[in-house]
Structure 1
Amino acid sequence: MEGLLVTRVSLERFKLLGCWGASEEFRTMASLKSAWATDDEHVIAGVYFIESEEVFTYILQVKDRSGRYGGFFLAAPLVTAREAEAALRSDLKIIETGEKPAPELEPAKGGVDLFQSGLVIDPNLKFLNLRDSQNSSATRAAIAEVARWYDDLDGNFVKDFQSSGIDGRVWELYLFAAFTEMGFTFDQSNSVPDFRLSRGGKKVFIEAVTANPSNGKQFDIAGPPPPPPDDFAGYIENDMPQKFGSPLRSKVKKKYWEASDVAGHPFVLAIADFHAPASMTWSQTALSFYLYGIGVELRKEHPNYKKAVEKKLGDHVVGAKVVPTNFFGQEEHRNVSAILFSNAGTLAKFNRMGVLAGFGDPRVQLRRIGGLYNYQPGAVDPVSFEINVEDPDYEEAWSDEIEIYHNPDALVPLEHELFPTATHFYMKEGELLWHGPERRVLYSFTQSIEVNRPGRAE
């Protein structure tokens, strides 16, 4: 057995490879402490701490022919993490020698192959870049792992992903990853709404939707994104609320909440903005303007300082088109419990998560550049940050950027506790308040830098 490679792997890599099938009960009771794998990663293993019993255990998982990992051995409770790791390594070495091979599991049903060929004659530019670019290798690996566990209930997922529907399908995969991370159980008995979730015995139904470019336009993905519109304040107060409002109102007309199994439970619309290149990095303010009819006025308190003060908004007007403000205040929208939003349901998110898990071209460095919420009272400008994604201090979860806007007039309110890691916005005594993670990323860009080492043989 000497010289056999049984290696410790990062928790990020293990989670991306093998944590998608864990039950809600196991996620609630167990926390991952260390992760291991055979040299070829055919078998992976995780050591877990069961807090309620103050014991450790480990699970061995093997890859089936579909690429999914399934558990085949759960260890009896052990006293220390060291004891669990020693036993785990011994088991993996026995498997590596062939003395006791890992079982061959039947391929799990479901999952999609995003890169299946021959489905689309003229693929989308974003898809081609994802499929073919070396700089996209981490993104490609991460999104493929997530997709293995995503069930295509309507039968069109891969075709949409490779064509004009790529943004919407990436958004759905992101939501699936975030909801899995949060510990939700998925009911796959029906494709409508998109997500039929339960957690702690409570159900919530979510329909995904996106704000899209006009006329199905494809954007040039080369080079940096264009800047926001010149009349930014006017665009955020009028144009952008209309772009959010149109897809939201279209979904409301379908009355998902009238289905017998949805009725009486919270119903949520999950929206992302893809109407222009990188628009999701600057458009989110407009969503709260539209939902609550409350905007922001900048007042100059000092030659070098502006203060943001709330103001009531009127209708959102663009040319002859007029859209009433305060979506939540309209009677026909009382069946919508909340609106979920994230500006991170993008390929850049999968890129970062892939790199954190050790995937991708080792010569490509990722830097995340953006703005954090500024806690100074009345502050307008965010706190800037820039960090190497592989910096030891850098951490990121799928659900970090999720925001939930609660409908104060909802017939069936959504409990904040169902989404404990999200940022929640809500009305209280006529004031718009929020609570959430202390480190709140408002927007970010992900920069890929190809690093060439002089004098190194290729």
Structure 2
Amino acid sequence: KLARRYDQLPHANGKPFILAVADFQASGSMMWSREGLIGYLLGSGATVAEVDGRPQAVPMPAEHLLGPARFPAGLFANDEHAELSAVIFTNACSMAKLNRVAISGGGAPAGHRYTRIGNFFDRTPGALKGIPFCLDITSADYRGLWPHGYEPWTAEMEVFHNPFARHPVSVDLLPEATHWFRQGGEWICSSVYEASILWSQTLITSSDKTAPSLDDFLNNAARDSRMDSPEA
């Protein structure tokens, strides 16, 4: 996309140039591709290591992406791509999102149950994992995650700002999105909503069936983990 030099087109020249991306390469790929995008843009990820006797997240710099192509990482690590002002990403660019916005706003068709499972971002300092959740989309607990009283369109939208951008993007362009920007030598994440969902799945089941539970979700995750293990 950058090689096409869209930023030099008459209607874009001299203005912030933004790319919006979403991952549809495989079924469910939006549940795990977010971390890869962050590593690609920042040129760094994180791993867990024992520091002072306890597990902590430590930086893991990367010059290339994994895989035989060895594609360079760190799109925003220097000024080589100053023409790109920002990248917009969401892990919920799907039909499920379209359904949830309407259903959480009171438009749930009768005869079905709508459940969302996934992981909340844990804002506890030093947290290494997300917080699992399983919520009925029509419930007060779910709708109460946002001040609107229903799921907003921008709930999972993230804007990654290029610190070397020739034409920076104002946060006011998408005020309710989560914004990533470099400040004081480190990357800062700023969000409007307290609830931030790292990944999720939406389940639609018959209302006469037993409702999915958090225990079901955790047990299935543990089973899948055992199946993926080399010893399994």
Fold shared by both chains (TM-score > 0.5): yes
Match of 2:124 among 376, 381, 384: 376
Whole-Å Cα distance in 1 between the matches of residues 8 and 79 of structure 2?
Answer: 16
1:424 aligned residue: 179
1:347 equivalenced with 2:103 (yes/no)? no
Whole-Å Cα distance in 2 between the matches of residues 448 and 288 of structure 1?
Answer: 31
1:287 equivalenced with 2:37 (yes/no)? yes
Retained in 2: the 8 A contact 1:272–1:345?
A: yes
Match of 1:402 among 141, 144, 157: 157
1:310 equivalenced with 2:59 (yes/no)? yes
List runs of 5+ in structure 1 lacking aligned partners.
1-250, 454-458
Whole-Å Cα distance in 2 between the matches of residues 363 and 264 of structure 1?
Answer: 53
1:72 aligned residue: none
2:218 aligned residue: none
Whole-Å Cα distance in 2 between the matches of residues 411 and 315 of structure 1?
Answer: 25
SS in 2 for 1:414: coil
2:217 aligned residue: none
Q: Aligned letter for 1:434?
A: C
Whole-Å Cα distance in 2 between the matches of residues 415 and 270 of structure 1?
Answer: 16
Shifted more, 421-430 versus 308-317: the winner is 308-317
SS in 2 for 1:403: strand
**Superposition pairs for residues 128-207 of structure 1, below 5 Å?**
none
Q: How many residues align?
A: 201
| Bigger RCO (CA 8 Å, 6+ sep) | 2
2:11 aligned residue: 261
Give the TM-score of the pair, scaled to structure 2: 0.80
Whole-Å Cα distance in 1 between the matches of residues 152 and 52 of structure 2?
Answer: 39
Retained in 2: the 8 A contact 1:335–1:412?
A: yes
Whole-Å Cα distance in 2 between the matches of residues 253 and 346 of structure 1?
Answer: 28
Retained in 2: the 8 A contact 1:306–1:379?
A: no
Whole-Å Cα distance in 2 between the matches of residues 302 and 332 of structure 1?
Answer: 38
Whole-Å Cα distance in 2 between the matches of residues 411 and 345 of structure 1?
Answer: 28
Retained in 1: the 8 A contact 2:65–2:71?
A: yes
Give the deviation of 1:357 after TM superposition: 4.5
Give the TM-score of the pair, scaled to structure 1: 0.42
1:7 aligned residue: none
Q: Aligned letter for 1:426?
A: F
Larger Rg: 1
Give the deviation of 1:364 after TM superposition: 0.9
Give the deviation of 1:358 after TM superposition: 4.6
Give the deviation of 1:426 after TM superposition: 1.1
Change (3 A) 1:336 1:356: same
Change (3 A) 1:317 1:285: closer
SS in 2 for 1:447: strand
**Superposition pairs for residues 78-97 of structure 1, below 5 Å?**
none
List runs of 5+ in structure 2 lacking aligned partners.
144-149, 210-232
Match of 2:77 among 323, 329, 336: 329
Whole-Å Cα distance in 2 between the matches of residues 331 and 431 of structure 1?
Answer: 16
CA RMSD of aligned residues (A): 2.0
Structure number with the higher helix fraction is: 1
Retained in 2: the 8 A contact 1:340–1:405?
A: yes
Retained in 2: the 8 A contact 1:309–1:378?
A: no
